[in-house]
Chains A and B, each alone.
Chain A
Amino acid sequence: MKAKAIFAAIIAVIITAGCAGQQAAPNPTDAPASQAPAAAVTEQPKAEAPPSEEPTAPDAKLSITWWGSQTRHDYTQTLLDLYSSNNPGISFEASPSGWDGYFDKLSTQAASGALPDIIQMDYLYLATYAKNNTLADLLPYADSGALSLGDVDENLYSSGFVDGKLSGLVLSSSVVTFPYNPAVLSEAGVSEPTVTWTWDDFIAICQQVKEKTGKYGLSSNPIDTNILNYYIRQSGSPLFAPDNKSLGYSDDSAFAGFAQLYKTLVDSGAAPTPDEWTQINALGKEASPVATGDAAFTTEWSNFGVIVAAVNPDIKLAVPPYSSSGNKALWIKPGMFFSVAQTSKLKDEAVKFIDWFINSEEANAIIMAERGVPVSSKIRSYLKTSLNKQQQDMFDYIDLITAHSTQAPPPDPQGISEVNKLLIDTIDQVLYGRITPDEAAKNFRSEADAILARNN
């Protein structure tokens, strides 16, 4: 009996160890990063007198969570320290994390009523959380002036409305982009893309890169529906129907074209196979092939250049290719949000911090647009003078994109993570040669419609 008990104990230990390990699960994006920017600003704060008008409640501890890479973790912590020293009595309990696993943990916290006071939220999940009443309505704070939106473009902050409630305050704007490594392109002897290039140009360039240098033309496979969304919008229809109960396009050839695009690239070796992509995807942005000079293009958000600046300062941002229809299909996406938990007991303090985060110059001098182009026009003009090359590129890119954009789609429907997974699986089946692009389009439609109908 004793032996059995001991083994049971051992097994229990192994199992629990396994579970505990998952929380510390690998964080590819937490890989190497420069500490320089954060370290440079650490020293300045304490001299300044606290500008707080009203005395704050003593010893309020705000919990806050965000995803990001090491660079972001470092400067955000600096930011929190600065805020604490400006506002005696306010301290923070920070839970930084990589993107992977962030929303798994958040859903668990939401279920147990233990959401942090301040939550970095993505457009993907804003509707899901808001519709289930887990996020506080920030509109009353905006009305009372506690949250000052005077310098924020209405189109931008209204992206945070779900069912008439301001469920999150957008922190930045962001656009899909095809970042490229100019050195790889010149090595392959191809000229850099123009703003009106087409998918055919793109494929030709990628294949030439592969032929001349042996490197990837495009280093990524789809990871969610954003590029697909852009591709489908070029055909003139939205990806999701307005009521979110089904797909919004009726012509399956658009999806087939998207699948064929990746198939063409992967079959010719100009893009990684799903097998190779698994390894690349685990490297994190800073070590991704485009940043290290092992690929020409990737698909990313417009803050990519800023994020990898410490590794490779020469990354440029290309406008995603046009289709032969010539339709403008890009949109300026709310980059990320700060939301306040409905269960928070410190809503006033949380809102005050968010207000400081978007509107104050001292905060943004530390953030330096790493989360994307700031939403406040005042902050944008304040930063203009001090931007480095990558940040300037990002600002210019967003300005440039306005001419290539149409209205942004509404927040992604509930069930989006299952649709994202379905897209990845469907494209994988094409890339493994199990189904044709046309079959993929049919499968995707029937299964995506079922998911959307069930969730909305």
Chain B
Amino acid sequence: MKKSLRGYRNGLGYLMLAPWLAGFVLMYLLPMIASLFLSFTNFNMLSAPKFIGFDNYARMFGQDKSFWKALGVTFTYVFALVPARLAFALAVAMLLNSKRKGLALYRTFYYMPSILSGSIAVSIVWKQIFGSGGVLMTLLNQLGIHQKISMLGNPDTAVYSLALLGIWQFGSSMLIFLSAIKQIPASLHESAKIDGARAGSRFFKITLPMLTPTIFFNLILQIINAFRAFTESYVVTDGGPLDSTLFYVLYLYRRAFNYFDMGYSSAMAWVLVIIIALFTAVIFKTQNNWVYYESKGGIGHDS
């Protein structure tokens, strides 16, 4: 009797889970298995795939200069973007943590870029601001600073103007920081105040250590996101100039859909999965050194 009840409950549970499960299996699991298989084939999407073993991987690491270029660009982007975005998100979260009128409105405003800037429209606006003959160039011209080349047109700066666009998408990290800041017990700050601690040292001695679990969480999330960046380079620069903004995923997309090289592209996708997994693993390993959990035994900060 008990057993069948449990069976019934499990069944009900799975039934409730079914929509998500179906989505997961159809949209993630099966395509992933397919792509793993395809990564060992020569597949142009129009004809049946031909099994070629590790040739795609060998070509990628051995011969493909664009692959290494794309990898380099993506690492530059990740390292430029993630720390800056997190710092900015934290700074804004601190500002928004005060008690002022209309704070909810500010929060909404500051979250907006996150919704907008993944979009095509904002990417095009970016092009108009930082591109040749764009707003920035015109403004600098008026100030007497004459540039021959725009920020987006200069191979040395283009990737950073894209990072700037990325930093602007700080909203989700900011909200997570904000809620974490609110959970820091006020008593800590109060007793520190009584002991004569200034705002600066309270931030570095109390707020920041208490936030490390949140920083840890945001860091992982943002690194994963940054590695997968696509729209920015696809729309704003199309990977140019001189491949200086050739993001990994853009190159992967080109190989698949422009060059009819789906097998190779699948192999690239798996290499990216491994890179992201390695990164995440390393950060997890280091967390004992810098992440402070107030109550040991809890898994994370969110409860």
Query: Hey, which bits of chain A sit against chain B, CB under 8 A?
Result: 1, 3-4, 7, 10-11, 14-15, 17-18, 21-22, 24-26, 103-104, 107-108, 110-111, 128-129, 132-134, 273-276, 278-279, 282, 414-415, 417-418, 421, 425, 428-429, 432, 434, 450
Q: A425-B243, A429-B242 are in contact. Are A273 and B258 (CB under 8 A)?
A: no
B155 to chain A: which residues have CB within 8 Å? Answer: 432
Query: At the interface, yes or no: B234 with Cβ under 8 Å from chain A?
Result: yes
Query: At the interface, yes or no: B44 with Cβ under 8 Å from chain A?
Result: yes
**Contact string, B46-72, partner A, CB cutoff 8 A, digits 1/0?**
110000000000000001000000000
A18 touches B118 (CB 8 A): yes
Instruction: Give B162 Cβ to nearest chain A Cβ, in Å.
Output: 14
Instruction: Give B269 Cβ to nearest chain A Cβ, in Å.
Output: 15
Query: At the interface, yes or no: B262 with Cβ under 8 Å from chain A?
Result: yes
Instruction: Give A2 Cβ to nearest chain B Cβ, in Å.
Output: 8
Instruction: Select which of B175, B241, B257 is within 8 A of A108 by beta carbon.
Output: B257
A-B contacts, 20 listed (Cβ < 8 Å) = A3-B176, A7-B172, A10-B114, A14-B114, A17-B119, A18-B119, A21-B118, A22-B231, A107-B46, A107-B258, A108-B257, A111-B46, A134-B46, A276-B133, A276-B153, A278-B152, A279-B134, A418-B259, A432-B241, A450-B63
B176 to chain A: which residues have CB within 8 Å? Answer: 3, 7
Query: At the interface, yes or no: B275 with Cβ under 8 Å from chain A?
Result: no
A415 touches B179 (CB 8 A): no
Instruction: Give A226 Cβ to nearest chain B Cβ, in Å.
Output: 17
A1 touches B302 (CB 8 A): yes
Q: A1-B302, A415-B259 are in contact. Are A275 and B149 (CB under 8 A)?
A: yes
Task: Report the interface size class on chain B.
Answer: 35 or more
Query: At the interface, yes or no: B273 with Cβ under 8 Å from chain A?
Result: no
A108 to chain B: which residues have CB within 8 Å? Answer: 45, 257
B175 touches A107 (CB 8 A): no
A107 to chain B: which residues have CB within 8 Å? Answer: 45-46, 257-258, 260
A26 touches B172 (CB 8 A): no
B258 touches A418 (CB 8 A): yes
B241 touches A275 (CB 8 A): yes
In this complex, the member of A7, A276, A415, A428 whose beta carbon has the largest number of chain B beta carbons within 10 angstroms is: A7
Instruction: Give B161 Cβ to nearest chain A Cβ, in Å.
Output: 12
CA distance in complex: A389, B303 (Å) = 74
A428 touches B240 (CB 8 A): yes
CA distance in complex: A25, B121 (Å) = 9
B131 to chain A: which residues have CB within 8 Å? Answer: 275, 278-279
Which A-B residue pairs are the 10 nearest by beta carbons? A275-B153, A132-B46, A111-B45, A21-B120, A104-B257, A18-B118, A275-B132, A132-B47, A276-B132, A418-B259
Query: At the interface, yes or no: B115 with Cβ under 8 Å from chain A?
Result: yes
B260 touches A128 (CB 8 A): yes
Q: A1-B302, A134-B46, A275-B149 are in contact. Are A428 and B241 (CB under 8 A)?
A: yes
CA distance in complex: A275, B152 (Å) = 8
Q: A21-B231, A425-B242, A432-B242 are in contact. Are A417 and B259 (CB under 8 A)?
A: yes
CA distance in complex: A374, B136 (Å) = 47
A18 touches B133 (CB 8 A): no
A278 to chain B: which residues have CB within 8 Å? Answer: 131-132, 152-153, 237-238, 240-241
Query: At the interface, yes or no: B208 with Cβ under 8 Å from chain A?
Result: no
B36 to chain A: which residues have CB within 8 Å? Answer: none
CA distance in complex: A273, B119 (Å) = 28
B302 touches A4 (CB 8 A): yes
**Contact string, B232-268, partner A, CB cutoff 8 A, digits 1/0?**
0011011011110000000000100111101000000
CA distance in complex: A7, B217 (Å) = 12
Instruction: Give B274 Cβ to nearest chain A Cβ, in Å.
Output: 21
Query: At the interface, yes or no: B124 with Cβ under 8 Å from chain A?
Result: yes
Query: At the interface, yes or no: B280 with Cβ under 8 Å from chain A?
Result: no
Query: At the interface, yes or no: B207 with Cβ under 8 Å from chain A?
Result: no
A274 touches B153 (CB 8 A): yes
Instruction: Select which of B46, B120, B175 is within 8 A of A22 by beta carbon.
Output: B120
Instruction: Give B156 Cβ to nearest chain A Cβ, in Å.
Output: 11
CA distance in complex: A178, B123 (Å) = 32
Instruction: Select which of A11, A129, A418, A434 is within 8 A of B172 by beta carbon.
Output: A11
B44 to chain A: which residues have CB within 8 Å? Answer: 132
CA distance in complex: A225, B132 (Å) = 25
B149 touches A273 (CB 8 A): yes
**Contact string, B102-122, partner A, CB cutoff 8 A, digits 1/0?**
000000000000110011110
In this complex, the member of A17, A107, A434 whose beta carbon has the largest number of chain B beta carbons within 10 angstroms is: A107
B120 touches A24 (CB 8 A): yes
Q: A1-B302, A134-B46 are in contact. Are A103 and B153 (CB under 8 A)?
A: no
A428 to chain B: which residues have CB within 8 Å? Answer: 240-242
